[in-house]
Amino acid sequence: MTTTGPRFQGGFLGRGSSVGLRKSDTEQKTMFNDAIAAAKADGTIKTLSEKWFGFDVTPK
């Protein structure tokens, strides 16, 4: 299956965003997940989303 183009399917930013990785790129997947978790934990996502969107878009 191949998906192309925007994937906005509801809500302000859609149901989510995605990144395509090869199944063999497990180290890169871990790095993405760790970076997202760190940005969520230290408030970076909240700070930037409030600055640019006017409200908190931190994933739950």
Instruction: Note whether residue 14 is domain-resident.
Output: no
Return d(Cα 45, Cα 51) in angstroms, integer: 10
Query: 59, 40 in Cβ contact below 8 A?
Result: yes
Query: 37, 25 in Cβ contact below 8 A?
Result: no
Instruction: Note whether residue 33 is domain-resident.
Output: yes
Residue-wise pLDDT tens digits, 35-57: 989 999 999 999 999 998 898 88
**C-alpha distances out from residue 42 to 2, 8, 47, 58, Å:** 35, 27, 10, 11
Q: What pLDDT sits at residue 10?
A: 55
Give this prediction's pTM.
0.62
Return d(Cα 30, Cα 36) in angstroms, integer: 10
Q: Which residues, including other chains, have CB under 8 Å from residue 48's CB and lie 6 or more apart? A: none
Residue-wise pLDDT tens digits, 4-26: 555 545 555 566 667 788 999 99
Total structural domains within the chain: 1
Domain that holds residue 48: 24-60
